[in-house]
Each structure stands twice: as C-alpha cells, then as structure tokens.
Structure 1
Amino acid sequence: MGLRANPTYRQRRFGAEVRAIRERAGMSTAEAAGVMGMRQSHISNVEAGRTGLSPERLRALAAASGSENTTHIDALVELGQASGKGWWTEYREQLRPSLLDLAELEDRAVNIVCYEPMFIPGLFQTLAYATAGYQGGYALSSREQQGRELDFRMRRQRVLKGEPPRIHAVIHEAALHVSWGSSETMRDQLLRLIEVGRLPNVTLQVLPFDGRVGFGTSFTLLEPAVPQLSTVVVEHVEKPLYLGDPEALARYRNWFARLCEAALPPLAPEGNTEAYLVKNSLGLIQRLLYPLLQEEPHVSARVAEVELQ
C-alpha cells in the first residue's frame, strides 16, 4: 500500500499519539523500530499520518514504553483502524478537508462544547440563517459551492438525533443581535435556538454584554469516549486550527469553564414561569425575539409552543 498524500486529521492525530508514546518513553525512532520489528523510515511515515500501524505493533510499542493506560491504547487502536467513512464521504473532492474532519470528529464525540462570539453555532442554525451568512460573508465562492456547503452544514445537524452527544454552548449576546437576512430569518433562528436549548442533551448559555469580556475567536472542543483523544477546533480566517496536545486541551477546557461562570444561567428544559423571572439565557433570547414577533400579523402555532406557560 502506498503512502497517503493527504492524510486526514484522524490519521495525523493517530500518528501524533504514536510519536507521543515513543517520546514519553525516551525512545528514538530506531529503538521504536526495533521494538516493533519494522524499518525506521516506516516509523517516520506512521508518525506523519502517511501510513497506518497494526494493533499488534502499537501494543508492542506501548508495552515497551511502560504505558499502563490500556483504555487509551484500546481507543488508539480503534482510532487507527477506523475506516474514516461516513455520510460525509460523499463530499470528498467537493469540500475542504477541514469540513470533513469536523464531521468525523462530531460523529465520534460524546461531548461537544463550543463558544461563539458572533454567530449561532452551525449545529443550531436554520437553513435561512446559514444561507444569509454565506451570501453576506466575505468568502469568495460560487453559488454552487455555497450550496454544497449549506447542504453539508444542515446534514451535520443529524448528530442531534439518535444517540446524540452532550452539547454545551456559550453564545455571546452579540450573536443574537446580528441581523442576517430579514427579521423573519432572525425570528425563526431565535425560535430554533430556544427549541434546541430545551433538548435534554443540550446546555445553552448566553454571555451578556454586561458580563466579562469574552473571547473574540470561536472554538469547539470535541471529546470522544476517551477524553485524552479530544480535539479543539479554533476558527481562523485562513483555515481552522486543530489542536490535540494535552496543554491545549487543558487550556481551552479552563477557558470554557470561565466562560460558563461568566454567562447567564442556562435554559432549563423543565423551566416554569417562576424560573424565568430571574435574569437568564432564555429571558434574554425572548426579549430579543418578541419585537420580531410583533411584526407578524398572526402568531403561528410554533411560536405559541415556545412562549411562556
């Protein structure tokens, strides 16, 4: 089998974890090659994500390095043996590899935490809101390409169905004031946000203007069953950064915890009227929503479902 020309994030991450095991044991590539019965050049290609490694050789390296965390090694074996195929596979050659990497990470996640300073998180967006964002954004792409990316974003939301991961989102109040498209678009998006926030697996908080200064950059932490293999995706104007080293994971977990402390209390799925008398995330969203509702001559049944009881 030839070497991979463009390894995926999962393949690169597997290689990085193999390198970390070797380096923690103080082993050179030559020593590791001897332990696993392979050429030194093969080790370099494994660690770069250009080729795989059999479970037997990985376990041999782990044993020689004195690694006792069998849960981590088992998860790493699974990561290395994964096919990488899923619903996102049909978009290969059509979309940026980073988008496919994100979908694969979401598919494997049991916990997702995210912070958004200017936009509604992609997993919570309505089609109209997402469309307005693409059409009014700065990215130069054809309508055909925009259509593919919009379809991809909407299909990502299937992670909310079946056995969904636990999702905790902190959204800055600024994102709720941005007017994309018509007032109807923003009305429906705020309604959608309330509906999603009431899902039992979703925790939604708003960081208010009068709170602590928030981050200017959005980030998402995706945690699989073994947190050691988590990934932070940090948005950037050029391309997103994918970080998996222990220091970065600890840093972003700490930052998210501080954002949660500064944000308003979350929307409670079982909330009652008394609960909404205090200042909280739902109350803020509703205060922004009601003026938009007044612009419509009739309140739809869907709107009535999310009004206060």
Structure 2
Amino acid sequence: MEQGRLKEATKAYQTMLDLKPSLHSYARAAHLRWLKGDLTGAIEAMQLAVAASSPQDAESAAWVNTRLASYQFQAGDNNEARRTADIALTYQHDYAPALLLRGRMKLSEGKSDDATAQIQTATQLNPLPEYRWALADALREAGRESDALNIEQLLRQTGAADDPRTYALYLATRCQLPETAVRLTESELKERADIFTHDAAAWSLARAGRIDDALTHLGQALAEGTKDARLFFHAAVIHSKAGHKEEASRFFEQATRLTHLLLPSERQQLQLVPGAINSDFADSMRPVTGASALNVAATESPRRD
C-alpha cells in the first residue's frame, strides 16, 4: 500500500479477511476503504476491528479506537469521536495519537488552551513533526507566540531526520526552504510512492514554483478518490496557482467542508484561495509568519461528510 498499489493491496487484504478475520485485517480494510473515499465503509470496518479488540493487546485496542475516532471526527460526529478517543485512553492512558486527536478536536472548536494542554502532553510522549507542528499552531492560537517559536525551532532541528515527509509539508505550508522540502519529498518517493508522499511532493514543488511538476504529483495523489482535507486544500492552492479557476473553486469547496480537520495555519491559507483565484496568487498567498465477510473493495456508501 505504501507504494501506491491499491489494487494489489485490495486483493491481498481480501484474502487476509477471507482466511482469518481479525482486528488487524479489519483495520487494514478500513484504511483501504478510507483511501478509496468510502468514509462510511471505513467506519463500518473499523467498528469490526474495535469489536475484535481485547485488553490483552491494549496497544492495538487503543490504536483501532483512535483510528475509528478520527473517522468519526471527519464525519462531523464530534461527540462520538470524543467518546471513542476516551475509550482508546482507557486501554493506554498515555496513548499519544489519541491525545493528539483530542487536542486537534479542541483546536477545531476554538478551545486553544485546552487543545494546547492535550497536544503538549502528546508531544512530550511522541515529539515527531506532526505533533510539534500541531503544538506550535495551538500555542500560537492561545497567544503564546514565544512558546510557539521555541517549538518550531525544535522542529527545524530534528524534523528532517524524524519524519521527512511531514517536515516537508510543514516547510511548504510555512513557505520556508522550498528546495529543502522538494529534496526531502524526492527522497521519500524512492521509499514510498503512496498518495500522501505524492501530495507532499506536489505541495513542495508548488512552493518552489514548479507548478507543472506539482500538478503531475497532485494528479497521482488524488487518483484514488481519497477524501482528505489537506489533499483538497493543497489541490485548491495548486490549481489556483496554475490559473485553473474551476478546479481551484471545486477543491476549495471540498476542503471547506472538511476545514475542521486542518490546522489553524492551513485554515488561514485556505481562506485566501477565493481571492487568489481572481487575483495575483503571489500577492494573495504569503508565508505564514509566527506562524467476518467483509468486502474490502465495497462500493462507496452514502456520504456523511
């Protein structure tokens, strides 16, 4: 799956399910459904994974509950998402992904102080770029600019080694070191050519001014029909820079429906897209400163998002 060969992955996971339905096979089927744009189907499959979980494997139980909570959050069912994330934390009280998710939910609700506390704890447990980026945004939303800058300094020191793809996304979003971001994503593509690495490449190339190359990678990132807020946000910006007003407007609308999934710094830039569509993009998009039998390939269920 990390090489972007979803057809092969679908066959492999269906065989896994047919031979031995289990927490892990259900969870993989859920992820595959999500990648194919079937959020309702992903939720259904992940609920089977949760039902197959056990306190005897607390980490796996926490993992599948957190993944289910993230799908519920995307679907706009915040209350259920919170409840499911809390269940994850009953299996492991310091499970960083669940704490990060709870913090991001608070952030989407404008509760920056509560969000900061949750994300800070998650970051202490798991100081990866994804966590530090979210923490910096939360701190800045809470008016703690100096603390945000300190976290970003740590991110710059270790981001490229800890998680090159996410660090490249961060740099491109901040409009910083675009050639470094491009170099990191080019290296990542040699190891994993999945949807999200192509997206990171597209985003970095766009920031480096290589719009035609960015569009090529963007097409590969969007090819499976994945419904992801960050993908749509990047697509809106890149098509706007390419002068594709219709495509930019369409992706802006899709990203806006999922804006609660974006970090504040991303939401801020997304809101610039309508103006950029009808004006000089370079003037509009400035850097952010301070700133059982389960059919794996089931057809898409009616959308809830």
TM category (shorter chain) comes to under 0.3
Query: Normalization by structure 2: what TM-score?
Result: 0.25
Greater fraction strand: 1
Q: Which has the larger radius of gyration?
A: 1
Greater fraction helix: 2
Query: Normalization by structure 1: what TM-score?
Result: 0.25
The structure whose RCO (Cα within 8 Å, separation 6+) is larger is 2
